Amino acid sequence: MTREIAVVAFAQTDHRRTSDELSEVEMLLPVLHEVLDRTGLRTSDIGFTCSGSSDYLAGRAFSFTMALDGVGAWPPISESHVEMDGAWALYEAWTKLLTGDADTALVYAYGKSSPGSVRDVLTRQLDPYYVAPLWPDSVALAALQAQALIDAGETDEPALAAVAARSRADAGANSRAQLRGSVPHGDYLVRPLRTGDCPPIGDGAAAVILAAGERARQLCERPAWIRGIDHRIEAHSLGVRDLTDSPSTRLAAEKAGAFARPVDCAELHAPFTSQEVVLRKALRLGDEVRVNPSGGALAANPIMAAGLIRLGEAAAAIHRGESDRALAHATSGPCLQQNLVAVLEGDPR
Amino acid sequence: MSKEPVAVVGVGQTKHVAARRDVSIAGLVREAAGRALDDAELTWADIDAVVIGKAPDFFEGVMMPELYLADALGAVGKPMLRVHTAGSVGGSTALVAANLVAARVHGTVLTLAFEKQSESNAMWGLSLPVPFQQPLLAGAGGFFAPHVRAYMRRTGAPDTVGSLVAYKDRRNALKNPYAHLHEHDITLEKVQASPMLWDPIRYSETCPSSDGACAMILTDRTGAARAPHPPAWMHGGAMRSEPTLFAGKDFVSPQAGKDCAADVYHQAGITDPRRQIDAVEMYVPFSWYEPMWLENLGFADEGEGWKLTESGVTELDGDLPVNPSGGVLSTNPIGASGMIRFAEAALQVRGRAGEHQVDGARRALGHAYGGGSQFFSMWLVGAEPPAT
C-alpha cells in the first residue's frame, strides 16, 4: 500500500522586480517562518528538507549553502538540494516520504533574477558547443515556439493577448503577484511576442510543507493530497522537437493520473502566453477548467520558484475549499523541455 | 510499508585524467553510463529514470547541464533529476536515486555524477568574491588547512601522518586502472619533500583536478535476481547538513558527520564499525582528513584516528583498508568524487574491484562530504541482501 502524502501549507514572498536590499537568505527567511507558522511546526520537527535554486542566478558557486542559514540547520538536519525548480525538490521530498523515512518535509525555492540580465543568463542552459555560443535568448526561443503555433493555426496574436489579459486580471485577487490588473500588451519584444506575452522579471521565494497520512490531517484542516506526480524530459535540441506539442507534459500527466477524472482547476507554469496554448492541448483542459486563477507565471515568475508556486497555489485552492481536484504543472528548460505534473485532491466535503 | 531493498548491479567509470579533450561533456557522461549498463548487461531501454549530480555549474560554464545531457543519457521521455549538494553531491545523487527504488516509484534507475574540470579552473571557480561575505580564500585548501592544524594541535599527532596517507593512497591508485594519478616512482620522501601549499598541507597531500564520470545502475529485488554479476545491497544510507559557520561549530569533527554515520549504522545494524566494516571509501581531499574522518565516523576514539593511520591499519592489507581505490587524493572530478566512493564501496562487496580488491570484503562504507564540512552523505553496502 502506498503512503498518502499531502501539501499541508504554502507560503510565498511578494514578488518584485528587484530586491536589492535583501540577500537570498533574507528574502527566504520570512517565507520559511510563515509556512512553519501555518502548521505550528518548528525546524526541529521537520523530517526532511529539500530546496531548489540556481548558482547561475546567484552568480556564485554553492549559493544554496547560505540559504541553509535561514532554515536553522542546527542540530544537523536531513537535507538535500536540486539545481532545479523547487517543484522537483518537492518531488524528491515526496519520494523520501514515500519510503517512510520521514513523515514531514519542508520544501523551498528561491531565485533573484534582478542582479543580472536573465535573458542572457538563460542562454547558458543551451548546448554549450553548438547553440550557447550563438546566445539565443529565452524570449527569442519562446517566440520561435509561438510562431510555430500560429503557423500551425493553433492560435493567433489576439488569442495570446487574451491569455495575458485574463492572467493579469485574475492576478488582481493575488496580492503577492508582481503584475496585476490592467497591463498594456505593449510592443513586440521578439515577433510575434509582445511584452505582454512575456513574464515579468523578478525576485521571489516560496515554501511548502508536505506531510504523510494522519500527520497531514493533524497539520491541516483540508490537506491537498498528492494523488499522482510525475515528470518527464524531452530532447534538448529544438530542431528535433515539435514545438507546438508537449509530449513530456502529456506523458507525465498520464503517469500522474490526470486523465482519470476531470480537474476543476489547473495551475500551469507557462511563462509565455503561447506556452499556455501548448499545455492546455497536452493536458486536454477544456474551457470549464479554471486555469491559473493566481495569475500564473505571467503575473509573477521568480525563476527556480515559479514551478513550486504552481504546486503551492493549487494546494492552497484545495486548502481554502475553492477546488476539489486540481492539476499543477512546472517546467524547466527552453520551450517547455522538461515538465512535471501533479494531481492534488481534497477530502470530499 | 517496508522499503524495497536496493541493489547495485552496474558500475561504470571513465579513466580519470586532467583533461579529456577528446570528448564533449555528453561524450564523457555517456562513456561512464555505457560501462555501467555493460556491467549490468542492460540496455538504455531498461532504465526507468536518470538521476544526475555534479558540483557547481560554473565548473563547466553550463547552467543546469542536465537539460543538454538528456539525449546523451537516454533520458528522453523519462524522468530526470539533477542533484547539487556541494562536494557530497555524488553520494547524495546516489541516495536520491536509491530512494526512487526504495519507494517503488521506479524499478531500475541510472545514477551518474561527473565533473569536467578542464573546462574551467576549479580553484578560482570556488573563489568568486561575494559582497559582504567572508572570502573563502584561494580554493578549498585555504579553507581546510586551519582545520587540519586544529586537529594536529588537539590530538598531538606527529607532522608526518598526512604524508603517510598520501603515500598509501597514491600507491593504492597504481592498482586502480581508472585512477587519475599513477605515480609509479612515488616514495614517502618525495611526498614529504613536495612544496608546502597551504601549511600544513603539501602539494602531494592534495587532490588533483580531474575530468571524469561515474555511473551506477540501481535496481529492486527483481532486477537484482536477473543481474549477471553479484550485486551490492544497500543496508543503510543518510544525508545530514549543518550551517557553514556558527559559534560552537566543530570543524575538526562536525556533528552532522557523526549524526549521518550513526543513522547509517543504525539502519545497517552496525554496532562496532571498526570490526564490522571491511573496507571504507571516504572522501579525503587533503591527506589529514583520513585520521579526522576515522574519528568522526566512529572507527577510532577522539584523538586516536592518526594512530590507526600510523600503524598501517588503513593500508590495503591492513585490517581496515581505507580508500583502496586511491581515493580523492588520486582522482578528483569534484561532482563525481562522492559517487566514486559509493561505487568503489559497491565494487568491493561485489568482489569486482580488481587489483585493489580487499580480500573477503562483505560490508563497505561509502562516504562523501562537502561545503564547509557541512554536507554529509554516506551509504553502507553489503554482499548479502539486507534483513527485512
pLDDT of B138 > 80? The answer is no
Determine the pLDDT at residue B372. 87
Residue A109 and residue A215 share a domain: yes
Burial of A189 (0-12, 13-18, 19+ CB in 10 A): middle
Domain that holds residue B84: 7-121+208-226
Residue B62 sits at the vertex; the CA angle it makes with B60 and B67, to the nearest 5 degrees, is: 130
Q: Is there a single domain that holds both residue A29 and residue A94?
A: yes
Both A205 and A193 in a single domain? no
Please indicate whether, in this complex, the C-beta atoms of A96 and B75 are within 8 angstroms of each other. Answer: no
Chain-chain contact of B80 with A125 (C-beta, under 8 angstroms): no
Identify the band that residue B127 occupies on the pLDDT scale cut at 50, 70 and 90: low
Residue B40 lies in a domain: yes
Amino acid at A173: A
Angstrom CA distances, A178 to A10, A167, B71, stand at 18, 12, 36
Instruction: Show the CA angle centred on residue A82, arms to residues A77 and A86, nearest 5°.
Output: 95
- Where would I find the H helices in chain A? 24-39, 55-58, 64-71, 86-99, 118-123, 138-151, 157-170, 213-219, 247-255, 273-283, 306-319
User: Do A178 and A301 fall into the same domain?
Assistant: yes
- What's the confidence (pLDDT) of residue A254? 98
Residues 246-265 in A contacting B (C-alpha not used; CB under 8 Å): 247-248, 251
A187 and A84 both lie in a single domain: no
Cis check: omega of the bond before A158, within 30 degrees of 0: no
Q: What is the CATH number of the domain that holds B51?
A: 3.40.47.10
Q: From CA B223, how far away is CA B226, in angstroms rounded?
A: 5
Q: Is there a contact between B61 and A121 if contact means CB atoms under 8 Å apart?
A: no
Beta-carbon separation of A248 and B77 below 8 A: yes
Measured CA to CA, the distance from residue A164 to residue B233 in angstroms comes to 53
Query: pLDDT digit string (tens) for A13-31?
Result: 999 999 999 999 999 999 9
Residues A159 and A256 in one domain: yes
The domain total for chain A is 2
Q: Is residue B19 part of a domain?
A: yes
B196-212 residue pLDDT tens? 999 999 999 999 999 99
Cell numbers found for residue B39: 556491467
Q: What is the pLDDT of residue A45?
A: 96
Spell out which residues of chain B touch residue A105, defining contact as CB-CB under 8 Å.
Answer: none
Q: Which domain holds residue A97?
A: 5-115+201-219
Q: How far apart are CA B104 and CA B18, in angstroms?
A: 39
Q: Is the Cβ pair A124, B242 closer than 8 Å?
A: no
Q: Is the pLDDT of residue B125 over 80?
A: no
pLDDT band at B133 (very low <50, low <70, confident <90, very high): low
- CA-nearest of B86, B4, B355, B317 to A81 is B86
Substitution target from B1, B67, B259 for chain A, most A beta carbons within 10 A: B67
Domain end point (choices A190, A219, A248): A219
* CA-to-CA separations, B388 to A96, A300, B104, B152, B273, in angstroms, rounded: 18, 48, 15, 43, 21
What do you get for the CA distance between the two ends of chain A, in Å? 25
Q: Hey, is the C-beta of B217 within 8 angstroms of any chain A C-beta? A: no
| Mean pLDDT of the region A31-35 | 98
Report the pLDDT value the prediction gives residue A198, as an integer from 0 to 100. Answer: 98
Pick from A171, A189, A219: which residue ends a domain? Answer: A219
In angstroms, the CA A237 to CA A31 distance is 37
Q: How many domains does chain B have?
A: 1
Which pLDDT does position A61 carry in this prediction?
81
Q: What pLDDT is recorded for position A60?
A: 80
pLDDT tens across A244-292, in order? 999 999 999 999 999 999 999 999 999 999 999 999 999 999 999 999 9
Look at residues B343, B379, B302, B381 and name the one whose alpha carbon lies nearest to residue B32: B343
- Outline where chain B has alpha helix (H): 25-40, 66-69, 89-102, 122-125, 139-155, 161-173, 188-193, 221-226, 255-268, 273-276, 289-296, 305-310, 327-330, 334-350
Domain finish residue from A219, A252, A267:
A219
Q: Which long-range contacts (CB under 8 A, 24 or more apart) does A215-220 make?
A: A215/A103, A215/A104, A216/A4, A216/A5, A216/A6, A216/A8, A219/A8, A219/A9, A219/A39, A219/A40, A219/A41, A219/A104, A220/A6, A220/A8, A220/A9, A220/A39, A220/A319
A23 and A147 co-located in one domain = no
Other CB atoms closer than 10 Å to residue A134's CB: what's the count? 9
What pLDDT is attached to residue A2? 80
A22 in contact with B, Cβ within 8 Å: no
DSSP state of A260: S
Task: Tell me what the mean pLDDT of segment B128-152 comes to.
Answer: 76
| pLDDT tens, position by position, B242-296 | 998 888 899 999 999 999 999 999 999 999 999 999 999 999 999 999 999 999 9
CA dihedral B69, A59, A330, A179 (to 10 degrees): -150
What is the pLDDT, as a whole number, of residue B131? 54
pLDDT at B230 over 80: yes
Tell me what pLDDT residue A5 has.
98
pLDDT tens by residue, A56-95: 998 888 889 888 888 989 999 999 999 999 999 999 999 9
A111 and A122 share one domain: no
Whether A167 and A303 map to the same domain: the answer is: yes
Comparing B54 with B136, the larger pLDDT belongs to B54
Same domain, A87 and A27: yes
Residue B299 has pLDDT above 80, yes or no: yes
Say how far apart CA A271 and CA A13 lie, in whole Å. 18
- Out of B68, B85, B128, name the one closest to residue A81 (CB): B85
For B177, the grid coordinates are 586502472
Ramachandran angles phi, psi of B98, nearest 5°: -60, -35
Of residues A129 and B124, more confidently modeled? A129
- Give me the pLDDT at residue A66, please: 84
> Which CATH number belongs to the domain containing residue A287 in this structure?
3.40.47.10
* Cβ-based contacts under 8 A for chains A and B: 183
A147 with A26, same domain: the answer is no
* Average confidence (pLDDT) over B374-386: 97
Chain B residues with CB-CB distance to A233 below 8 A: 67, 70, 75-80
Average pLDDT for residues A297-316, to the nearest whole number?
98
Residue B46 has pLDDT above 90, yes or no: yes
ipTM: 0.97
Touching check for A119 and chain B: CB below 8 Å?
no
Residue B129 confidence (pLDDT): 62
pLDDT at A197: 98
Residue B118 contacts A, CB cutoff 8 Å = no
pLDDT attached to residue B2: 87
Average pLDDT along chain B: 95
For the segment A311-334, the average pLDDT, to the nearest whole number, is: 98
Q: What's the rounded Cα separation, in Å, for the pair A223 and B286?
A: 49
Partner residues linked to A48 by β-bridges = A105
Same domain, A57 and A174: no
- Res A9 pLDDT > 60: yes
Which of A146-173 are b and which e, b meaning 16 or more Cβ less than 10 Å from the residue's Cβ?
bbbbbeeebbebeebbebbbbbbebbee
Give me A112's grid cell. Answer: 533573484
